[in-house]
Structure 1
Amino acid sequence: MDPSSKEIVFEVGDFKVYKDGHVERASRALYTVPAGFDAGTGVTSKDVVIDAATGVAARLYLPTTDTSGAVTTKLPILVFFHGGFFVVGSPGHPEYHRFVNSLAASAGVVAVSVDYRLAPEHLLPAAYDDA
């Protein structure tokens, strides 16, 4: 094994870049929760592919607006970009998922959380292009 494969050239939090170019993200940074109905907020989320060629996807969040559970009015749309310095994170990360669920419910909006491509595998401006 090449000794340079173990040499770290950049590290921040759960993210490391090695001299040979490979990237390591800690498993807790990659943890995700599934989309679906959240009984606490009444929001239903669903994952959708935006561009199959690039793999860009999004998680949609739809709040209920009446007691029958149906959406009966037009709602504003909120576009949300998760944090993570463009190198970690996803809409399915538990913290972002909970936040957007809560936001969609309390603001009464349809939320779109973009799962943009991450660096360094996809250098900037890939994430901006995905947005």
Structure 2
Amino acid sequence: MSLNNHRLLPAIIWLVIVLIALLTPGNNLPKTPTFPHADKLVHFGIFAVLTFLWCRVGTLNAENQLDWKKLLTNLLVFTIIFPILVEYLQKYIPKRSFEYEDIVANLVGGLAGFVVFFLLYKAKSRLV
């Protein structure tokens, strides 16, 4: 498996999991214990991981230098466009709802995923 496939596969798998989780009708979701704003924490985590994984896809050249154009494209798509679109689509899913607070949690989570990616890149971590 090439390095790019090694990075692409986890990102695609997580994207599919996110789509299934966020677009499943609410009455089909398992009942879980909750605390106030637990769903916001879940949204934050989902999009932090999603953005981190997609920041790893195709953004490093052969010399391990960042391709800023690809990185910013991935950032725009997976930190801004996709989270807003998925939240909007929830409006049309039975027992799901559109919430601006979820969008904020999605966006902040995505930014956190980007910051973690960038810090690990600067530290020359093997995780990126």
For the criterion TM > 0.5, the same-fold answer is no
- Bigger CA radius of gyration: 1
Structure holding more helix per residue: 2
Q: TM-score, normalised by structure 1?
A: 0.29
| Relative contact order higher in (CA < 8 Å, ≥ 6 apart) | 2
Q: TM-score, normalised by structure 2?
A: 0.30
